[in-house]
Structure 1
Amino acid sequence: MVDCDVPNMDPSSAAKENTTVGADFGIVDLDDGEQLHIYGSPGQDRFDFVRGWLLSMAIGVIVMVDANEANAVRTAEQYLQTVYSVSEDMPCMLLLARPVSADVSNRFASQLTTALGIAVPMITADVRERSQMLDALDIFSSLLAAI
């Protein structure tokens, strides 16, 4: 296992102690014997080329956003527009990756739907909780099964 987290040298871009500097990869064994291969890309603009490369091979995308951030709607809109520029038909799900209130979640969903002109499936999960992330992946695998 390789640790891709390093001290954040640009605290103005994100108020967090550590940041990811590489692509992540994992395999989840599904109940039906299938495997879900998961690739993760850092969110910083300087890693756009990684996202482009991953999207060129993807059959579906989970976009993770912290809805508590002031620019969360714009960030999600940019990521989703990037996904849809590769394929308008790609299964896509938005994951609010930090705990949020129902009001914040509803306002975020409403503003994003208005910005995009379409509704995107959205769930909330705490990325630090393995069981919540496995539930999110189970939901996402259902979206993939529909294609």
Structure 2
Amino acid sequence: MAGPEPFARTGENAIVCILRIVLLGPMGIGKTTAIRSLCGDLMVDCDVPNMDPASSEKTSTTVGADFGVVDLDGGEQLHIYGSPGQDRFDFMRGWLLSMAIGVVVMIDANEADAVRTTERYLQTVFEISETMPCMLLLARPISPEASNRFASELTAALGIAVPMITVDVREKSQMLDALDIFSSLLITI
């Protein structure tokens, strides 16, 4: 499968390199918050009131693709898309992934079914591209022991290791560090 076209013309025939990544994860994991912490008010969110309080305690939910832009060195731009977490919007995941050069899967590794949830999101990615760079972002506080146990169980289930980092998505500096690590994966591919 050919990758997305990373260049766009702006202004007086200037060419800007646009890199697109997607944040995947369950409802309430912090995809919108992560984009907001990186982009501030210069983001577009698609939140509406949550009409299914049985599925989450959140008062709002994303029904489209959240979007933000991070300006990089050299005039490049990183476009970050947050996919809706509810399964009824799963059709959007494939569309978003088809434009992306990489994906960050956000997970709460403390959840009892965290390995299965992660497998499901990674399967969605691998259906689009078996070679798309992926990184797991553990978006909830977790002990080193629990993190190591989750990593071991996930590696055993997948048969491969997936890079993983724990961050507080509300903290811009931590999210920038995560993107820096993720960008090193993109460079090596």
- TM-score relative to the length of structure 2: 0.71
Structure 1 moving runs of 4+ over 6 Å: none
Query: Is 2:100 the partner of 1:94?
Result: no
Q: Percent identity?
A: 82
Alignment of 1:36-115 (within 5 A): 36-115=78-157
Query: Is 2:118 the partner of 1:118?
Result: no
Considering fraction of residues, name the structure with more strand: 2
CA RMSD of aligned residues (A): 1.7
Aligned positions, number: 147
Partners of 1:20 and 1:105 in 2: how far apart?
28
Task: Find the counterpart in structure 2 of residue 26 from structure 1.
Answer: 68
Q: Give ranges in structure 1 of 5+ residues lacking alignment.
A: none
Partners of 2:71 and 2:134 in 1: how far apart?
20
- The one-character-per-residue Cα deviations of 1:36-86 (angstroms, maximum 9, x if unpaired) are 111110121111111010111111111111112222111111000111121
The structure with more radius of gyration = 2
Amino acid of the residue matched to residue 106 of structure 1?
N
Q: Give ranges in structure 2 of 5+ residues lacking alignment.
A: 1-42
Query: Is 2:179 the partner of 1:137?
Result: yes
- TM-score relative to the length of structure 1: 0.90
- Rate the CA distance shift 1:71–1:12 in 2: closer, same or farther, 3 A: farther
Higher relative contact order (Cα pairs below 8 Å, separated by 6+ residues): 2
